[in-house]
Amino acid sequence: MARSRPLVGEHRREFVVGVVAVAFLAAYAACMLSEPASYVAYNFGYQVPAMVGIALAIIPVRHSRGRERAGWLLLAVMLAMWNIADWVFAGYTVFLDRDAPFPGLPDVFYLAGYVAFFPAVACLLLPPRRLARGAWMLDALIVMAAAGVISWVYLIEPAAAANSSLRDKLVALSYPVFDLGILAIVVAAVYQEGGAHRERATVIGIAATLLVFADGAYTYSWAVAELDNGAGLLDLLWLSGYWSFALAMVTPGRPSAAQGRGVEFRGAVSFLLPYAVAFPLVVIAMVKAAGGDQSFVLTSGAIGVMALVALRQLAAFASNRALLGRLRQDKEDRDALLRAQSDLGEALLIVDGWRIVFANDAATQLLGMPVEEMLSLPSWAKVLSGGDEDDSVPVFQQLVRPSVGALEASFVRPDGKRVEVEIAAARMDGNAPDRFTVVARDITARRETERALHQARRLESLGLLAGGVAHDFNNILTAILITTGILKKSNVHSEEDAAALSLVEDAARRGAGITSRLLSFSRGGLTEFGRVDLNGVVTDTLRLARPGLTPAVTVQEELPGVHLYVNGDREQLEQALLNIVINARDAMPGGGVIAIRLALEGKTAVVRVSDTGMGMSVETRSHIFEPFFTTKGPGGGTGLGLSTAYGIVQGHRGKLLVESEPGVGTTFTMRLPTADAQEAVAAPLA
C-alpha cells in the first residue's frame, strides 16, 4: 500500500509563509497592546508583508508563462502600489507628526493598486475563453454597483458629516466596493470553473474577504465618527490580507480533484445570479418611491444595475450564439471526417459502456450487419467475435490500453465470410475507461495477396528447381535414346529384343516431352506455335486425367467426325484443358459426370467441359479467373489453375467462358480460331 505524502512536505512553502505570518501578526498585536504602544512599529510594520509578497512574486513569475505570468506581475504591482501608499502614510505620522489627510496622496496609490488588482485576479483564476469574453468585468460591475448604491443610501448619505464633499464620500465608498468586486470574481471563478485552481483562488478569496471587512469598517468609522488613525482590529485585518497575498505567491495552481456542480446547473446559476443581485435593489427603490421617500441615487442606481444586467445577458447571448456556431461547424467537420473515413473504407465505431452507440456506413459493410443490430448488441466485442464474446473481450480490453497500438484480428461475419481486420482504439475521455472510438480497416485482400505472393514465390522457386531437374533428366534420356538407337541398328538381337528396344525408345521420347514442358514452364512458357490437332489434345488430356479420377466420376467424350486443327502449342493447350478437367473433378467430391465435347462452329473450334458439381454463385463467377482466387481451404489449391487456363486461351487468340448455377453444375467453353489464318481445317479421320 502506497504511503501518502505528508501535508507539510507537500505544502512546504505555504506552511513556512503561514507560520511567519502568524508569528508576525502576534508580535505586531503585542507591540500595539504594550504600554505605551509603539507607533513606530505600528507604522513601519505595515511595510513588511507587502515587501515579503513582492519578493515572493519572483517564484511564480519565473515558473509561469503567458497570462498567468502577467497575473503574478500585476499582483506584485498592486502590492507595490499599496506599499508606497503605506510608506507615504507612515511619513505623515512619523516624520510630519500629523495624520495623513483623507482623501489624500496615500489614497491615490491605494486606488491605483486596484487598477492592477482586477486584471491580476482575472488572469490568475479565469480560463482564456472567459478572460477573452469579458463577462467577468460585467459581473464585477453589477456587484460593485449594487453594493455601492445600497451603501450610499443607507450608510454614506445619512451618516457622513455635512461638510463631507462628494469626492470624500466616493473615495471612502470605493474601497469596500472594489473589494466586493474582486471577491465576486473569485467566487464566480471557483463556482463556474468547477474547482480549477481552487487552492490559489481560496487564498486570494480570503485576502479579498479580509479587505472587505477592513475597508468596510474603515468607511463606516469615517462616516459616523470621522476617522481615528489609531491601531486596532482593523490594522490586523489589513495586515492579514497582505499576508494572504504573500501566501498566494507560493500557492501553486493545482487543479482540484473536485469537479463541482454540473455544467448545466452552473450555467443556470450564472444566468440567474445577476438578476438575483439586481432584484432586491429594484424592489427597495420601488418601495421607497411608493412611500414618498424617493431617492435619486437609489432609483438611478437600480436603473444602472439593470442596464448592466441587460448588457451582460446580451453579451452572454452573443457569446452563446458564437459558441453554437462553432459547435455546428465542429459537427459539420466531424460529419465530413466520418464521410471521408467511410469513403476510404475505414469502419468507425463509438463505444460507450462496451455498447456501440455509433457506426458509420463503412462499419456496416465491413461487419456485415445493419446499424440497428449493432446498436442493440450488449457488447461491441460480439461484433468482431462471431458471437463468441468470452474469448474476445480480453483482446479488446488490451486494445484500449494507451500503450497498445493497432492489432490484427479475424472474425466470421453473419453471412459466413471470414474477414481479417486491422483495428485500433483510443479513449475519448481519460476519466471514462469504457468510452472510446474504434477504427477498423479490412485487410482481407491484402493478406490474401501476401499469401498468394508467397505461394507465387514458392512456385517460382519450384519452376527453377524443375528446370534444373528437367535439364539433368533430359541428358539422361538423351543417353538412353542414343544407346537405344545404336542397339536397334545392330543385328545382334532377336525380334523380342527389338520390340523391347522400341518400347524403351517410346518411353524415353515421352519422358523427353515431359522434360520439354518442364523446361518451357521454367522459362516462362516461351514456345513456338504450330498446327495442333485438337482431337489428339482432348484424347491425350483425358488419358492423363483418368488416373486422378475416382471411380465415382464418369467421363463422357464426344469428338467430331473430322480432325480440327488450330495454331498453337500442344503442351499449353493440354495444360489448359487438364486444369479445367481437374477443376470439374474437384467440384464433384461425391462423384458425378464430366462431359467433354469438341465441335466446329463456323471457323471456331469449340471445346466444352461440363460437370454435375455444386456450381458457383454470381460472386464467385466474377472472380473465377483471377490469379490466386480459390474457394478451397488451405492446402486445397493455389488459385492458379483456371487463371493459367484463361491466360493460355487468351494467348491463342481465343476465349474462355463459364456458365454455372449453384446446385446444377458448371460448363467451361474454350473457343479457339482454327488454323491457316482463320480458315477452318477439317481432315477426315483415318
Assigned domain for 2 exists: no
145 and 248 housed in the same domain: yes
Assigned domain for 565 exists: yes
Listed residue (503, 668, 670) closest to 584, CA to CA: 668
Assigned domain for 326 exists: no
558 and 647 housed in the same domain: yes
40 and 188 housed in the same domain: yes
Could you tell me if 244 and 207 are in contact, meaning their C-beta atoms sit under 8 angstroms apart? yes
Higher pLDDT, 577 or 98: 577
Residue type, 17: V
Distance CA 459, CA 160 (A): 108
Listed residue (238, 246, 276) closest to 85, CA to CA: 238
- Final residue of a structural domain among 286, 320, 354: 320
- Final residue of a structural domain among 488, 508, 526: 526
436 and 478 housed in the same domain: no
Indicate the number of domains in the chain: 4
Residue 660 has phi, psi (to 5 degrees) of -160, 150
* pLDDT of 676 strictly over 70: no
342 and 433 housed in the same domain: yes
281 and 307 housed in the same domain: yes
Q: What is the pLDDT of residue 252?
A: 66
DSSP 8-class letter at 160? S
Top mean-pLDDT range of 148-152, 239-243, 442-446, 522-526: 239-243
Domain that holds residue 433: 333-442
Q: What is the pLDDT of residue 644?
A: 80
* Residue that is written with C-alpha cell 466596493 in the block: 177
Q: What is the pLDDT of residue 557?
A: 92
425 and 451 housed in the same domain: no
Assigned domain for 469 exists: yes
Residue 535: band (very low, low, confident or very high) from pLDDT cuts 50, 70, 90: very high
Assigned domain for 457 exists: yes
522 and 534 housed in the same domain: no
170 and 258 housed in the same domain: yes
Q: Is the pTM of this model over 0.75?
A: no
- The whole-number average pLDDT for the span 236-258 is 76
Residues ≥6 apart with Cβ < 8 Å to 339:
none
Per the structure block, which three cell numbers stand in for 257? 480533484
Instruction: Read off the pLDDT of residues 364-377 as tens digits, 9 standing for 90 and up.
Output: 888 788 888 888 77
Residue 534: band (very low, low, confident or very high) from pLDDT cuts 50, 70, 90: very high
How high does pLDDT run on average in the chain? 76
Per the structure block, which three cell numbers stand in for 42? 505600528
- The whole-number average pLDDT for the span 147-162 is 70
Contacts 24+ apart (CB under 8 A), 623-629: 624/658, 625/656, 627/452, 628/448, 628/449, 628/451, 628/452, 628/455, 628/456
CATH of residue 472: 1.10.287
Q: What is the pLDDT of residue 442?
A: 84
Could you tell me if 555 and 581 are in contact, meaning their C-beta atoms sit under 8 angstroms apart? no
Assigned domain for 373 exists: yes
Distance CA 668, CA 656 (A): 7
520 and 533 housed in the same domain: no
CATH of residue 382: 3.30.450.20
* pLDDT of 572 strictly over 50: yes
Q: What is the pLDDT of residue 257?
A: 46
Assigned domain for 502 exists: yes
433 and 453 housed in the same domain: no
Residue 99 has phi, psi (to 5 degrees) of -70, 145
- Final residue of a structural domain among 424, 442, 460: 442
CATH of residue 551: 3.30.565.10
482 and 566 housed in the same domain: no
Assigned domain for 327 exists: no
Residues ≥6 apart with Cβ < 8 Å to 107:
85, 171
Per the structure block, which three cell numbers stand in for 245? 497575498
Instruction: Read off the pLDDT of residues 424-460 as tens digits, 9 standing for 90 and up.
Output: 777 766 555 667 778 888 888 888 888 778 777 776 7
Start-to-end CA distance of the chain, whole Å, equals 100
